[in-house]
Structure 1
Amino acid sequence: MTLKIQKVTTNVTPAHFELLLEADPSKELLDRYLQEGVLFEAVIEKIPVGVLLLTKTEEPNEIEIKNIAVSDQHQHQGIGSDLLQFAKDYATEQGFSKLKVCTGSTSIGQLYFYQKFGFRMSHIEPDFFVVNYDEPIYENGIHLKDLVHLNLTLTSKK
């Protein structure tokens, strides 16, 4: 079982979109992010098992992970870590000095995952999910309201 991470150069497939929706239930926001960013897929035997969507931010030296997801049956196998390392390497190679990711304040597993990888919380955006999503989102039995911003400072490979 060999994992390959590659840029998606064709149209986004239903399999990609299903993975993207795992991490963000807003089709409208995903459509916007896909127009603005670059999508990568983690593939095993030609089947996408994970996705990574990166977009530039308004900050000149910053790139953001807008979406990262791994299929349920492939979780806890290191694929998420591989995608995160790929994002870090890609951002560094493209000359960015900061990698950003945002997640819900109730996303306990994701907050642990990003911090374990070296991300640091920078700030919280209150009521982001209340304002930007039509339906309430519940995660870990808690009504998701706030967005947590995390940053990772990148060091050049030069």
Structure 2
Amino acid sequence: MFEYNVITRRCSKEEEIPYDLLLLADETIEAINRYIHQSDCYVFEHQGQLLGLYVLFPINNHCIEIKNIAVLESAQGKGIGTLLIRDAIQKAKEQSYTTILIGTANTAFKQLYLYQKEGFEIDDIKKNFFIDNYPTPIYEKGILLNHMIMLKKTIEQ
């Protein structure tokens, strides 16, 4: 587990978009550009190094979605992802959202476990999402990404 509290800061619109880190959780810059300019990006830095981030995209006045969450590969497995999820939920709560969504690939077993451990429940399956929205097939550990599993959590106010 990461030894420090995660304190994130919202990126300003003037900052360079951290595509290198965003691409750990999304397949193409084009896909990222579909949501990043209408979203708030929160970064976690430690000792001057960007270790993780998440992106919150408002759906409506009551619902917000975590569109991207990523941890630098060398910092993975230390609990940063869990702390980022909790921080995202807290930021959504501070902004008076009552529901938070997150989606992941049908092959993303670690992520599905983490999100459910943090109180998210499977809510929907977007069939053929990765086939329909990306120009070439995407494989993760030898398995073709087909469907997007959407999870939802009610935020207690």
- In terms of fraction of residues, the more helix-rich structure is 1
The residue identity in structure 2 corresponding to 1:24 is: D
Deviations 1:32-58 (A, max 9, x none): 21111000101011211101100001x
Distance in 2 between residues matched to 1:141 and 1:108, nearest whole Å: 14
Q: Can you give the 5+ residue segments of structure 2 that lack an aligned partner in the other structure?
A: none
Does 2:111 correspond to 1:117?
no
SS in 1 for 2:110: helix
Report what 1:34 is aligned to: 36
Q: Say if 1:127 and 1:145, in contact at 8 Å, map to a contact too.
A: yes
Counting matched residue pairs gives 153
SS in 2 for 1:23: coil
Distance in 1 between residues matched to 2:41 and 2:16, nearest whole Å: 9
Equivalent runs, 1:3-152 vs 2, <5 Å:
3-9=6-12, 10-13=14-17, 16-57=18-59, 59-152=60-153
Identity of aligned residues (%): 33
The residue identity in structure 1 corresponding to 2:122 is: M
TM-score computed with the length of structure 1 as normaliser: 0.92
| Pairwise CA distance, 1:83 | 0.7
| Pairwise CA distance, 1:17 | 1.0
| Pairwise CA distance, 1:60 | 3.0
Deviations 1:89-117 (A, max 9, x none): 00001000001000001111111110111
Q: Say if 1:4 and 1:44, in contact at 8 Å, map to a contact too.
A: no
CA RMSD of aligned residues (A): 1.3
The residue identity in structure 1 corresponding to 2:11 is: V
Distance in 1 between residues matched to 2:7 and 2:74, nearest whole Å: 17
SS in 1 for 2:89: helix
| Pairwise CA distance, 1:78 | 1.3
Q: Can you give the 5+ residue segments of structure 1 that lack an aligned partner in the other structure?
A: none
Deviations 1:58-87 (A, max 9, x none): x43100000000011101111111111110
